[in-house]
Amino acid sequence: MLDLNPKATVGWHDIGQGVQILVIDDALSDPERVRQFAWQQEYHLPGANEYYPGWISSARIKGDTKYFREIGEIFLQKIWPSGRPSAISAGRLVPRTSFAVFGMDPQAAAAQKYIDQHVDGAFWLAGVTYLFDDHAPGTRGTAFWKHAPFNLQTFCAGDMASIAYREKVLGLKVFDQLKESALLFPSHDSKEIAKAVMDGDPRGRRLFSLEENENWKLVKFVEAKFNRLVAYPSSQFHSIVDTTQIDGLSRENARLTYNGLLPYPYPAAIVPKLPYAGGYRNVADLVVAEE
């Protein structure tokens, strides 16, 4: 059901720092069938490790892995046009996918100091396929940003070896940014830097808009269009854009998308393992935090 259209139009946008944005128009061979399938699914609000600002359906669709592996292969051919290291393969890409309907109220989110710009640091690529006709008044799409106070366009956590590997095999330029901006950071700890970015004051701009403020400067905007795919390195700061003013959302006017997150395309043995998480012995009289 989910097939990449052989007659699709492929375009690239180089926005600096090694970040290439892929835009494919007429991406799906049968987008109407995929849209109908999406609206038949059951949706829920975000749960643990789900951060989408709206309704999500984790339903699988036939052809999803093949679809995203083809997208990953397009990126790898762009990065390595004359051949790639043998350790890198699109065949290793198993996507985390979902249908999603944007549904967060901007005013309520602003009151809770929600930050719409973010990175999906545990993944290599993110892909969004727009499955709605954009006839509602306002602007919809995906925006890409630079964090002005720290002069950072991309950010990913990890030790020096893992970041160096990503730079070498995937074309990112993380170290250059970190070196240029080092004196601006409030800490030497990457987790503290990430926290400072996400704790920034959202005032001065409408959430989910293209408006800038002292913290965020717009780098690139890709407008939503039915059956358009936009894919990009998930370490690039990005956000949903939706400034529509609609009295009531429905299937006819909601922002429906098919989203996928792709892991890094090299062997799992190269990726740092999580700390050991089982088999701990109890210690008498030790005060521990409640779960």
**Separation CA 233–CA 71 (nearest Å):** 12
- The CATH number that domain 9-270 falls under is 2.60.120
pLDDT in tens, 10-56: 999 999 999 999 999 999 999 999 999 999 999 999 988 788 999 99
Confidence label for 173 from pLDDT (cuts 50, 70 and 90): confident
Q: Please report, for the chain, the start and end positions of each structural domain, with discontinuous segments joined by +.
A: 9-270
For residues 1 and 30, the model is more confident at 30
- Provide the phi-psi class of 160: left if phi over 0, else alpha when psi is between -120 and 50, else beta: alpha
Over residues 255-290, the pLDDT tens digits come to 999 999 999 998 866 555 556 666 778 888 887 766
Query: What DSSP string describes 161-200?
Result: HHHHHHHHHH---HHHHHHHHGGG-S-S-HHHHHHHHHTS
Reported as a pLDDT band with limits 50, 70 and 90, residue 64 is very high
Residues 130-170 have pLDDT tens digits of 999 977 789 999 999 999 999 999 998 777 888 888 888 89
**What's the distance, CA 220 to chain centroid?**
14
> What is the overall mean pLDDT for the chain?
90
Q: Which helix (H) or strand (E) holds 108?
A: helix 106-111
Decide if pLDDT at 126 tops 60. Answer: yes
What lies within 8 Å, CB to CB, of 17 at 6+ separation is: 153, 154, 172, 173, 174, 176, 177, 236
**Global pTM?**
0.89
Question: Cβ–Cβ contacts within 10 Å for residue 237, how many?
Answer: 21
